[in-house]
Copies of this chain bind each other. A is one copy, B any other.
Amino acid sequence: MEYQQSSQNTPLYQQVKDYINNRIAQGILISGMRIESEAELSKMLNASRMTVNRALRELTAEGKLRRVQGLGTFVAEQKLQSPLFEIRSLAKEIEERGGRYSCDVHLLREEEASPWLAGEMKIQVLSPVFHSIIVHKEDGLPIQLGCRYINPEIAPDYLNQDYTRITPSDYLIQQAPVTAVEHVVEALIAEQWIRELLLIDSFEPCLVLHRKTWSGEQVATVNTFYYPGTRYTLGGRFVPDDRGKLDIV
C-alpha cells in the first residue's frame, strides 16, 4: 500500500485520535471499557497498524487510555485533576485523615440568574439556575462553606440529590466531564452570616476559593468556597514526571 493522507489535511493518526476522543466524549466509550484492538481499528479506519499504534500510544501518554500488553486497550478512568486543587471530595480527604465527616445543607433550590451571575455563566438574566449552600464539617467543626451555582443544562437533577450521601463535587463530576477549571484565591473578612455558619469571630480571616468550571463551551458551575483561616490551608506538591505531566504528591 502506498502513502495516503487524503482527508482535509489533518494527519491520519490525528483522525484516529479524534475518532477515539469523540467516542469517549459522546459516552459511547465508558471508563474501563475495552476498545478495539489495533488490528481491528486498522481495518475499520483503513489505516496501517503503525498509524493506529501511534494514535493509541499518544492517547495513552495523555492519560485517556490504558494499555496492557497481551490484553488490550481500555478507556482510562477520567479524573480531571486541576493542578493546585484537585477537584476531589472533601469527605474523602477528611476520612483519609481519620476524621468524621458530616455536612449541613442550608439551601438547595432553583433561582433566577442575577445580572452578575448571568454574565459569569454566559446565560440569560433571570433564566433558572440551581443554588446550594452547604457547610462541610470535620468532627462536627465547620471547615468549608460551599456556595454553588449550577447550570441546569449540565446537571438537571442537581436539586434532587441527597448531599449527605454524595458530595456535590462527586455528583457533578459524574454528570459531565469538566474540561476547564479556573481557580482564584483571596483572603478576606467574611460577611456575618458566613462567619456564623463557619463558627468564626469577626476578626478571623477567611480563605476564599473561587472555582469556575466549564464543560465544553458551557459554563458548568460557579462556586465560592469559604475556609476558616485558622483551621484550614490549601496546597499541594507538584513534580513533573518524565512524560512532562504533573503528579500530585
Residues of chain A at the chain B interface (Cβ within 8 Å)? 17, 58, 61-64, 80, 82-85, 179-189, 203-208, 210, 212, 227, 229-230, 232-240, 242-246
Contacts and interface: CB of A to CB of B under 8 A. Distances in A.
Assembly stoichiometry (copies):
2
Contact of A188 (B180, B205, B212): B205
A64 B230 CA distance: 41
Contacts of A204: 189
A203 B182 contact: no
A237 B180 contact: yes
A227 B208 CA distance: 14
A61 B62 CA distance: 10
A14 to B, nearest CB: 9
A180 B206 CA distance: 28
A8 to B, nearest CB: 16
Contacts of A182: 235-238
In this complex, which of A62, A187, A203, A232 has the most chain B Cβ atoms within 10 angstroms of its Cβ?
Answer: A187
Contact of A239 (B179, B184, B237): B179
A58 B60 CA distance: 12
B58 A185 contact: no
Nearest to A86: B83
